[in-house]
Structure 1
Amino acid sequence: MSNKFLYIADPMCSWCYGFSLELSKLLETLPGAQLDIVLGGLRAYNTEVMDDDTRQMILSHWQKVADVSGLPFDMTGMNKPGFIYNTEPACRAVVTAKLLADDGDAGDLLRVFRAIQHAFYAEAKDVTNETVLAEICVEALNQDGAGAYDIESYLETLQSPSTHDETRQHFEQIQRWGIRGYPVLCVVKENGLHMIASGYTKLENLQQALKDLEKSV
């Protein structure tokens, strides 16, 4: 039986950015593993322009993630005039990928998620912009060379009322579960969800948690 995982995260959460590399490593060791993503809405629907104190606080978190994970960061993205740290569009872009692509394909879904993260953290792109998001996600989905996705259609689904509603349902589900921090990784079993990671977790610790879980269920 293949492993089924539920990943609870936000593409504009810096610790999720750090953790996604470890998650990708884990999935590479588990052929046929399935992954579903529930979007957290870290700063969803935020409308306030970022002030200097908030910027410095966020950049300090970014530096910690960079130190621990070794992943690249371009800190200049936080200096854009009038930048509003609203994570809802980026979350909705991942929901769009879930709607358009195969839900059970861990590779496709995580590739889109990580493409948004890389664009935001490593390339300082404005992933609150829907057109930018559509370009990023379509490129990620078309990496297999099939070219099955186009920006115009992706943008249409991204902006549709049903996708907005679906994204809000993700946020409401997270609230019902009482989850306040990301990332969280769970294994899906017949008797429910089993958490194997809360916060940034290295590959070897993920593997040990999986082993421990198999012994207990």
Structure 2
Amino acid sequence: MKLIYVADPMCSWCYGFSKEMAELMEMNPEISLEIVVGGLSAGSNKVLDDAGKRFRLMHWSKVEAISGLPFNREALMAREGFVYDSGPACRALVTAIKMNAGISILKIFRAIQHGFYVDGKDVTSPSELVKILSNTFALEGYPVNGDLILTMFNSEEIKLETENHFKTVKHTFGISSFPALLLEDHGEIKTISAGYMAANMLQEIMNKISNQNDSVLCQKHS
């Protein structure tokens, strides 16, 4: 049994949902988690104007009210010439996954989100992303040279793997909005949530699916 979290580091609802995911994983330490990035605005070259910033702040306010998580509005409004391209942040997470350092990938994902939404870092910048990954690895007792991270980040292998994530989300899962949480059990994938949901509600749905599966197994062996 495995949970599949489909998300984007620069999706504000994913930022709120990641807190719920952390709580859910604490409730289910025996279940593995895979994160697949969706590329919400990957490849965008449009500069975010004031209207675009205010539009995003409207969503941020909704997420803040529901999740209780903080947002650094001032940093976004003050940033000039900012292109809301989530591609680099997605690629940074794929880099971390590929490094397979034995560190919770959700923790790394949340570090990228925290860097953007709380610390006001420009997570479209490879150098900022390398710092976030490097600092997170170090805090978890796995120091990694920043140059190594950057080399992997810029490699064709990681670029291709990131594109594969996007294709999987779009064509295999058929998902176009984030966050989404899927459960894979014996090769069958079921949707737990299509959108933000509290951890206790996610747990209830998982329990129902588990009970249904147990019932089916009992019927097969009766």
Same fold (TM over 0.5): yes
Partner of 2:97: 98
Q: Percent identity?
A: 38
Partner of 1:167: 162
Partner of 1:87: 86
TM-score normalised by L of structure 2: 0.91
SS of equivalent to 1:195: strand
Q: 2:113 and 2:31 mapped to 1: Cα distance?
A: 22
SS of equivalent to 1:145: coil
The answer to whether the 8 Å contact 1:39/1:91 transfers is yes
SS of equivalent to 1:124: coil
Partner of 1:150: 145
The answer to whether the 8 Å contact 1:101/1:108 transfers is no
- Match status 1:204 vs 2:204: no
User: Which region of structure 1 is more displaced relative to structure 2, 159-168 or 83-92?
Assistant: 159-168
Q: 1:34 and 1:139 mapped to 2: Cα distance?
A: 24
Shift of 1:32: 2.9
- The structure whose Rg is larger is 2
Q: 2:129 and 2:115 mapped to 1: Cα distance?
A: 9
Q: 1:112 aligns with which of 108, 115, 119?
A: 108
Shift of 1:194: 1.1
Shift of 1:77: 2.7
Q: 1:37 and 1:146 mapped to 2: Cα distance?
A: 20
SS of equivalent to 2:71: coil
RMSD: 1.2
The answer to whether the 8 Å contact 1:8/1:38 transfers is yes
- Match status 1:25 vs 2:23: yes
TM-score normalised by L of structure 1: 0.93
Query: What are the Cα deviations for residues 106-160 of structure 1, in whole angstroms up to 9, with x where unaligned?
Result: x52011100000010011110000010011012112222242x121100110011
Contiguous gaps of at least 5 residues in structure 2: 214-222
